[in-house]
Amino acid sequence: MSLTMATEAPHFELPGVDGRDHSLDDYAEFPVLAVVWSCNHCPYVQGWEGRMKAIQQEYGDHGFRLVAISSNDAESHPADSFDEMKARAEAEGFNFDYLYDEDQSVARRYGPERTPEVFLFDEGRRLVYHGAIDDNRDEDAVTEHHLRDAIEALLDGRDPAVRETPPVGCTVKWKA
């Protein structure tokens, strides 16, 4: 069960591909925080990664931070192992933190079903948008920029007009 709207962001403290541990509190200085469930192996994630980087690049200097978390079972999907996450982050030049939720405890608290799947929090760390990054896996066919619109609304002191959209992507790979 995913977080319901206005729920406070559950705590996490997870290792990142940069070799450091990252907790929710570490992002307190950023008034807008997107926690995005992600992974390596999924073509939907790979298709959206460039847009994740672009959004971090565009709004990073305006109080926004994007954090990606992979909770996938690396036994069934070895491409999603922590070592492979580190390699992908390096190869793709991720400009956002990429964290590994090996025991899936953080995923159980947030309740993502897909990758990618966005949980966007306001300054009080209340959930204000949940769902897809935008409305099309094909970058050239996007007409609705859900995450961008929600970020801009928050940075502008408004509530996002769209609060929830269905995430599209691979399922989170839960441990057996």
Positions touching other proteins (CB under 8 A) are 41-44, 46-47, 76-77, 137-139, 168-171, 173
Residues in the chain: 176
User: Which residue, among 157, 158, 130, has the nearest Cα to 146 in the 3D structure?
Assistant: 130
Instruction: Choose between 12 and 98: whose C-beta lies nearer to other proteins.
Output: 98
| Residue with smaller CB distance to other proteins, 131 or 169 | 169
Of the two residues 44 and 100, which places its CB atom closer to other proteins in the complex?
44
Residue 32 C-beta: closest distance to other proteins, Å: 28
The answer to whether the beta carbons of residues 130 and 162 sit under 8 Å apart is no
- What's the closest the beta carbon of residue 147 comes to other proteins, in angstroms? 19
Is the Cβ–Cβ distance between 34 and 64 less than 8 Å?
yes
Minimum distance from residue 8 beta carbon to other proteins (Å): 30
**∠ CA(43), CA(10), CA(16), 5° rounding?**
50
